[in-house]
Amino acid sequence: MTVFTYARVSTADQNTDMQEQALKAKYPDGVYREEKATGTNMKRPKLAIILEMINRGDKIVVWKLDRLARNMNDLCGIVETLKQKGASLEIIDQAIDTGTAAGKAFLQMLGVFAEFETNLRKERQMAGIAAAQAKGKHCGRKATLTTRQKDEIRHKKESGVNPTILSKEYNVSRATIYNALKEVIESPLKDA
């Protein structure tokens, strides 16, 4: 039997230290893999490799459920793959092992509650944004270029300056330059 231990974080500035400690404490000889990838998409190549390599009697172990799956569909797909291969899943934090009937049932209930909590969090976030906007607050990222800079860019572009040179001059991407030019061109139409 091979035990695959899997740790995941969503962003590059996070680390897997706590997960790694918990996994290696319980399974020091496990095949450890980690990656930094968002759970809402399926672009988790190391998890995909584990799911491809796993065989009958093997086990994948994660620290917490949300480190493996972000929603019920994702979780069900992973669990179904493991079931078809005769493998199991263990979640250390919740003491769940799908090698048992109780573990399977409990995992499904946890998945439903985890998805419910994610949806509640999104609703609270949207309500907070709406309340802030109603008070006139700007939500989101600060503008990269000022209105004056956008006007300068338009004039320089009309004078024949290359967008690549403009992007270096203003220390922004070429896409930002093109967006600024597009915005300046479209804005008179909005006022008409």
pLDDT of residue 15: 86
16-20, 36-40, 108-112, 145-149: the lowest-pLDDT one: 36-40
Per-residue pLDDT, 33 = 93
d(CA 48, CA 32): 14
Query: Is the per-residue pLDDT at 191 higher than 50?
Result: no
Give me the residue label for tokens 């203003």: 170
Euclidean distance between CA atoms 146 and 150, whole angstroms: 6
Q: Under a CB-based contact definition with an 8 Å cutoff, are residues 10 and 37 in contact?
A: yes
Beta bridge partners of 60: 4, 89
Domain boundary assignment for the chain: 3-117, 147-191
- Pick 40 or 109 by higher pLDDT: 109
Q: How far apart are the first and last CA of the chain?
A: 71
Mean pLDDT value of segment 164-192: 76
pLDDT of amino acid 189: 46
Q: What are the tokens at 133?
A: 């906007």
Residues classed as catalytic? 10
The mean pLDDT of 125-147, rounded to a whole number, is 85
Query: What's the CA gap between 173 and 182, in Å, rounded?
Result: 14
In tens, the pLDDT along 47-87 reads: 999 999 999 999 999 999 888 887 777 887 888 899 899 99
Give the right CATH number for 3-117 from 3.40.50.300, 3.20.20.150, 3.40.190.10, 3.40.50.1390: 3.40.50.1390
Percent of the chain predicted with pLDDT > 70: 92
Q: Which of 68-72, 75-79, 100-104, 177-181 is modeled with the greatest confidence?
A: 177-181
